[in-house]
Amino acid sequence: MDARSDEDCCADEFFRRLQGLRSEGHLTDVTLCAEGKEIPCHRLVLSACSDYFHAMFGGAHSESKKEKIEIGGVTAEALQLLVDFAYTPKFNITLDNVYHQFEAANMLQVKPIEDACEKFLINNLSPDMCLGTWTLADKLSCMKLSAVARRFALKNFEEVCATEEFLQLPVDFLKTYISDRGLHAKKETQVLGAIMLWTRHDLKHRKMHLKELLGFVCFSRMDQDFLKNVLETDEVLRGVPGIRGLIKDQSRHGKPRHIQEVDILLLGGITGGYDPRIVNHDMYRLDLHGDTIDKAPLPQALQFTEGSAAACALGNDVIVTSKSQAWRYKTSLNSWTQLGSLKRGRRNHGMAVLNGKVYVVGGDDNLGSLFDVEAYSEKTNKWTKVAPLMFAVSHFGIATCGKKLYVFGGYWPGLYGRIDEAQCYDSTQKKWDSAATLPYAVSHVKACTINSKIYLVGGELDCVLCYHPQEEYYEEMARRLGSWRSWSECSATVCGSEIYITGGWNRITIGFDVKPFSTVQCYDVISDTMIMGKGLPIPVYGHHTVTVSKH
User: The domain spanning residue 119 has which CATH number?
Assistant: 3.30.710.10
Closest CA to 372 of 418, 301, 432, 413: 432
Residues 268 and 242 in one domain: no
User: Of the candidates 252, 279, 301, which is a domain's last residue?
Assistant: 252
Q: If you average pLDDT over residues 457-479, what whole number do you get?
A: 95
227 and 271 belong to one structural domain: no
Contact 363, 339 (CB under 8 A): no
Q: Is residue 164 part of a domain?
A: no
Q: What would the pLDDT profile of 389-423 be if each residue is shown by its tens digit?
A: 999 999 999 999 999 999 999 998 765 689 999 99
Question: Taking the CA of residue 380 as centre, how many other CA atoms within 13 Å lie in the half-sphere pointing to its CB?
Answer: 8
The set of residues, in sequence order, having a beta carbon less than 8 Å from that of 125 and lying 6+ positions away, is 133, 148, 149, 152, 531, 532
Same domain (yes/no): 307, 396: yes
When divided into structural domains, the chain yields a total of 3
pLDDT at 261 over 70: yes
10-24, 277-291, 510-524: which has the minimum mean pLDDT? 10-24
Domain that holds residue 528: 262-549
Give pLDDT, residue 2: 43
Residues 208 and 294 in one domain: no
Task: Give the per-residue SS3 of 91-112.
Answer: CCCCCCCHHHHHHHHHHHCCHH
Establish if 156 belongs to a structural domain.
no
| Sequence-ordered list of residues with C-beta below 8 angstroms from that of 251, at least 6 positions apart, any chain | none
Flag whether 320 is in a domain: yes
Distance CA 449, CA 471 (A): 15
Same domain, 353 and 491: yes
Read off φ and ψ for residue 173, nearest 5 degrees.
-70, -40
Query: Same domain, yes or no, for 297 and 439?
Result: yes
Report yes or no on 133 lying in a domain: no
pLDDT on residue 385: 96
3-state secondary structure (DSSP) of residue 503: coil
Q: Are residues 540 and 505 in the same domain?
A: yes
Q: What are 201's strand-pairing partners?
A: none
Is residue 516 a part of any domain in this protein?
yes
Say whether pLDDT at 250 is over 90: no
> Residue 178 to residues 173, 191, 192, 205, 302: CA-CA distances in angstroms?
9, 7, 10, 19, 45
485 band by pLDDT with thresholds 50, 70 and 90 = low
Comparing CA positions, the residue from 13, 18, 508 lying closest to residue 273 is: 508
As beta bridge partners, residue 32 has: 39, 69
Judged by DSSP in three states, 196 sits in: helix
Q: Are 199 and 311 part of one and the same domain? A: no
Pairing of strands 30-34, 68-70: parallel
Mean of pLDDT values over 250-261: 59
Q: In terms of Cα–Cα distance, which of 270, 264, 312, 267 is closest to 290?
A: 264
pLDDT tens track for 303-313: 777 778 999 99
Instruction: Provide mean pLDDT across the span 68-97.
Output: 89
Is pLDDT above 90 for 18? no
Give the separation between CA 227 and CA 240, rounded to whole angstroms.
Answer: 14
In a domain, 453, yes or no: yes
The last residue of a domain, from among 252, 277, 302: 252
pLDDT value for 200? 95
pLDDT at 122 over 80: yes
Is the pLDDT reported for residue 301 higher than 60?
Answer: yes
Concatenated DSSP letters for 315-355? TTEEEEEEBTEEEEEETTTTEEEE-PPPSS-BBS-EEEEET
Q: Using CB atoms within 10 A of its CB, is residue 310 exposed (0-12), middle (13-18) or buried (19+)? A: buried
Find all residues with CB under 8 Å of 228, minimum gap 6, and list them.
none
Question: In the predicted model, what is the mean pLDDT of residues 249-264?
Answer: 66
Does 284 lie in the same domain as 174? no
**3-class DSSP state for residue 420?**
coil
Beta-carbon contacts of residue 452 (< 8 Å; ≥ 6 apart): 401, 402, 469, 470
107 and 218 co-located in one domain: no
Question: Is 426 found in the same domain as 299?
Answer: yes
Confidence of residue 207 (pLDDT cuts 50, 70, 90): very high
| Pairing mode, strands 262-267 and 544-549 | antiparallel
Within 10 Å of residue 164's Cβ, how many Cβ atoms?
9
Q: How far apart are CA 341 and CA 324, in angstroms?
A: 6
**Beta carbons of 548 and 263 less than 8 angstroms apart:** yes
pLDDT confidence of residue 1: 38
Calculate the average pLDDT of the chain.
Answer: 88
Bridge partners, 58 (sequence order): none
- Is 141 contained in some domain? no
> Phi-psi category of 73—alpha, beta or left, where left has phi over 0 and alpha has psi -120 to 50?
left
pLDDT in tens, 359-370: 999 999 988 899
Residue 30 reports pLDDT greater than 90: no
**Range 450-475 average pLDDT:** 96
DSSP 59: S
- Give the domain CATH number at 244: 1.25.40.420
Q: For 132-157, what is the mean pLDDT?
A: 94
Per residue in 382-393, pLDDT (tens digit) is 999 999 999 999
Q: What sign does the CA torsion over 126, 128, 134, 139 have?
A: negative
Instruction: Please check whether residue 427 is in contact with residue 404, taking contact to mean a CB–CB distance below 8 angstroms.
Output: yes
Helix (H) or strand (E) holding 461: none
Q: Where are the alpha helices (H) located in 94-187, listed in sequence order?
A: 98-108, 111-123, 130-139, 143-155, 157-160, 164-167, 171-179
- Examine the pLDDT at 16 and tell me if it is beyond 60: yes
404 and 472 both lie in a single domain: yes
Which residues, at least 6 apart from 112, have a Cβ–Cβ distance to it below 8 Å?
85, 89, 91
- Cβ-in-10-Å burial (0-12, 13-18, 19+) of 18 comes to middle
CATH number for the domain harbouring residue 491: 2.120.10.80
Asked if residues 535 and 300 have their Cβ atoms less than 8 Å apart, the reply is no
466: three-class secondary structure by DSSP: strand
Give the ranges where 2-75 is alpha helix by DSSP (H).
3-24, 43-49, 51-58
Q: pTM of the prediction?
A: 0.83
Residue 358 confidence (pLDDT) above 50: yes
Res. 253 pLDDT band, cuts 50 70 90: low
Pairing type for strands 325-330 and 335-338 reads antiparallel
Please state, in angstroms and as integers, the Cα–Cα distance from residue 168 to each residue in 80, 122, 184, 205, 421, following that order: 29, 22, 21, 12, 53
For residue 537, the 8-state DSSP code is: S
Is 152 within the bounds of a domain? no
Is residue 12's pLDDT more than 70?
A: no
